[in-house]
Amino acid sequence: MKYSHLFEKGNIGKLTLKNRIIMPAMGTNLAGANGEVTDHQIAYYEERAKGGTGLIIVEYTSIDYMLGKAAANQLRIDEDRFIPGIHRLANALHKYGTKIFVQLQHPGRETTSSLLEGRQIVAPSAVTCAAIGEEPRELTNAEVKEIVNKFVMGAARCQRAGIDGVELHGAHGYLINQFLSPNTNLRTDEYGGSFENRMRFVEEIVRGIKEKCGEDFPVSIRLSVDEFEEGGMDIPLSKEVSRYLEKIGTDALHASCGNYNSMEKMIESMLYEQGWRVYLAEAIKKEVNIPVITVGVIREPEFADKILADGKADFIAMGRSHLADPEWAKKAFEGRDKEIRKCICCLQCTRAGANVNCAINVRTGRELEFKEFKQINEKRNVAIVGGGPGGMEAARVLSLKGYHVTIFEKDDKLAGQLNLVTAPLAKEKMNWMIQYHSNEMERLHVDVHLNTEASVEMVKTLNPYAVILATGAKPIIPDLEGNHLSNVCDYEDVLLQRKSLINQKIVVIGSGMVCYSVVSQLARQGNDVTLVEVPTETGNKVTPHTRMTIVNRLKKAKVEIIEGCQITKLLPNAVVVKDQLGEHSEVMADHVVFSMGTQSYNPLEELYRDHFENVFVIGDAINPGSITNAIKDGFEKAFVIESIVTKKEASDERLVTV
């Protein structure tokens, strides 16, 4: 077997897992309005079980909906009426040989009064979380004991529902974490003060579950081994905590990190290297004999297998990897590494308020909607103009349905704007996506013509059932005085090295990931770079903590950053800016680079509609600036194409699973 360590059986307590791959708990917002399990939720988890995962830990589940609600559609196990739904979920997963835990959670101070119907949030002590901004009320001693019992009863209900074990969420700044951390536990009663007293809350929960459910019912605990916050949980303290947790009967430890004040460490952007958190699990594994689970930007089977081979952890948890590809485990087991759709850490799945979703896997959270493809039996040709992410995704889906697909790409390589990312760690992840789609084009026998402008005559020779225009976007150049000057260019000129800019004084105007890549590249080339950061649509898609990380790195590279200004005009040797007080000033520049996002490039639609009956425009050509929109558009158009063509050709159709 290629990955013998990854696919070796493993135990948590007396429970045997078929492999060492775990899908950790991630919120989905797929539960019902009252916290009940839904069919959509079952379909979402079943897809991952069918994909070969050894253990699925179901998303954080409320044990106290009155004072411990963490999300609008959070799953619940605080009353007996939720047992049947959890039981249905367990049955759906068990038939694939997958084990299932439920993560029991209370947010403590990391929620809001609006979620609690106006009730004040609670915590071990009245210490405000800066990220939340609401002062919590200190729990009374009696309330603490009541919450302990709610955790125990939640576990008992899970056991009655056929769940194999539970995970206590003691990480990410939630209530158990708050009791453990000296930063947030300032109590003077039996639950605060000394180390033993700060451990008492979680100890009573673990011992209570073991007493109620039996010693053989597994209990794992997720820990923030390092909160990355002064005075909080850190590695030395977590080592001591871990030894104590083993002593009281905990069956496994899940080594995570961060809290809401260090969110960028909890949910990493593409600026973090693969497996950067493994050292945390390795540190804990040296202290205990129970299994240790590692997590954090683990994407490749070879990388995961080596973690186990080197003895740094006992199990590999991959969250967003399972969003991007529910068949990750199955493909790795069968040696189909090139077919794995690796998460690119774009953070689309973290967008507030939405159901769980994924920029590169449209089916995530929509498994019931896209349950089956309509497989055609007769020959049908589809022409796609443009080989960016949207065009390739449309080609992939159409090919899986039995269409013969031809892509015409005017450049010498596929993937369009994805090729323009240059920051090393971000480029690595973009390359994963490019490699996946390129491999799929080859595997599915898509006919790709590079360096080819698609003429009407050329497309006509295919007698196409439909034509899809995925011609992408072009850089935005704002209508400013001086934008025609010879020293003005756009981000493509820099990233494609159309212009050699070395040891120059350069002003870059814009925001967003491509903009930051441009600035970084120019700085690495020895230029004196000033970023005039102006709001753009692409800039708005960068999360605040990702932007903060990038800005700090740019400043370390001696990039000057100017915020809160408007550009009024360009001069041969300067950029004129106006600040918030209306004052004008000049920023000296040998060259000016615009990186303000993109606008649709759709020059063919009118012409093609004169010659072809079924023409569809997708991706950046209609809605620029987002990988998410491009892939979503390509997938959806390909999925429903038989329903939206003008002439529906009669054919025998058979259904196949996606």
* pLDDT above 90 for 426: no
Burial (CB count <10 Å: 0-12, 13-18, 19+), residue 499: middle
SS3 content of the chain, % helix, strand, coil (to 5): 35, 20, 45
What is the share, in percent, of the chain residues with pLDDT greater than 70?
Answer: 98
From 65, 174, 260, 491, active-site residue: 174
Among candidate residues 199, 635, 155, 76, the one with its CA nearest the CA of residue 395: 635
pLDDT in tens, 516-528: 989 999 999 999 9
pLDDT in tens, 121-137: 999 999 999 999 999 99
Burial (CB count <10 Å: 0-12, 13-18, 19+), residue 257: buried
* pLDDT above 70 for 653: no
Residue 424, pLDDT score: 82
pLDDT in tens, 480-491: 999 999 999 999
Residue 435, pLDDT score: 97
Judged by phi (left if over 0) then psi (alpha if -120 to 50, else beta), residue 445 lies in left
Q: What is the mean pLDDT of the chain?
A: 95
Is 174 marked active-site? yes
* Mean pLDDT confidence for 532-547: 88
- Note the pTM of the prediction, 2 decimals: 0.93
Residue 374, pLDDT score: 87
Among candidate residues 534, 539, 535, 548, the one with its CA nearest the CA of residue 514: 539
Q: Which domains does the chain have, with CATH numbers?
A: 10-350 (3.20.20.70), 373-474+600-657 (3.40.50.720), 478-596 (3.50.50.60)
Residue 647, pLDDT score: 57
> How far is residue 23's CA from residue 15's CA, in Å, rounded to a whole number?
16
pLDDT in tens, 3-45: 999 999 999 999 999 999 999 999 999 999 999 999 999 999 9
> How far is residue 160's CA from residue 139's CA, in Å, rounded to a whole number?
30
> How far is residue 90's CA from residue 112's CA, in Å, rounded to a whole number?
31
Partnered with residue 488 across adjacent β-strands are 592
298-316 burial, b at 16+ Cβ within 10 Å, e below that, comes to bbbbeebbbbbeeebbbbb
* Mean pLDDT confidence for 152-160: 98
List, as one string, the DSSP characters of 330-363.
HHHHTT-GGG--------GGG-TTSPS--SS-TT
* pLDDT above 70 for 325: yes
Burial (CB count <10 Å: 0-12, 13-18, 19+), residue 457: exposed
Q: What is the dihedral of CA 124, 217, 245, 295, to 10 degrees?
A: -90
Residue 658, pLDDT score: 52
> How far is residue 622's CA from residue 639's CA, in Å, rounded to a whole number?
18
Among candidate residues 495, 476, 522, the one with its CA nearest the CA of residue 427: 495
* pLDDT above 60 for 252: yes
Type of residue found at 420: L
Residue 462, pLDDT score: 98
